[in-house]
Structure 1
């Protein structure tokens, strides 16, 4: 990787980190690009070379947070051989990842508010599709599940797990046991026996 690319990536990360800290402290509406610039010590040109707008910056932060939680969950379930067992472990590990209050605020409150439902959903679908649809496709290839619309099934499972995580965020109640029962039921419904 060339030095210019490395500097550009470091600058992007510096801007995203500053924005993350500020948006968690002041909210999306309360955070200005000037605040980000002051926090980073960068010029407007340096920032706008990386991100065209505060909305683009929010999308980059949201995608980074979503990807980090998915990657961490994937590391937990990597040892599972059975794709459905891996999917089950992956979802439970992801719920654990999003319990961190700053992460939950970014993924369930600030991001969807700033990006709108469609913007947030597009990023969620793009980031989780690699994991979920891949596991479901493997399960179908191994005849572990019936032939179903994988995108629809992935969306339904993501909605179930996302709702459990959001419920925990809003209420503080532990959802692990209920989520486990519901996930097992959903997977049993498509299992090829």
Structure 2
């Protein structure tokens, strides 16, 4: 780094001082005279081209930071839960099974297959579908809001997209479970007719 030197002339010739100026901004004194004398590059700070990751007026991260990252992770987590199930869906499925056993035990003329198998299966599918829909909505809204923003961190968009994809797959699986597309409901074997 080279600096320009100018002599400051005063009334007393012995007090002549050498002032260094910044070559990037001529006329402004250098920030570190010792570094200039030693030939060290101290760099400059230009307010106009500020690339500080924090917003210099509020001191907080720009859009696409903390809140967007949290929403993206929530979307991906919900999408994963829609595929693997949750303790809540297990509990509701067990509750439906118990209700089915009680109804079948009272002899209320209920379809035992529907009470023991169908209702619990459909309850789990419905709850997983709700989680999948939430993942798609949260991830989709996040992607739509931050699609054109260069300030959004790339990992936020990637995780949000992952949440949308997992949620979409979860919706397909939940729909298939609810409509019995993957496996039909079990049927009681027909008893042979007496002769």
TM norm structure 1: 0.25
Greater gyration radius: 2
Q: Greater strand share, 1 or 2? A: 2
Q: Greater helix share, 1 or 2? A: 1
Which protein, 1 or 2, shows the higher relative CO under an 8 Å CA cutoff with sep ≥ 6? 2
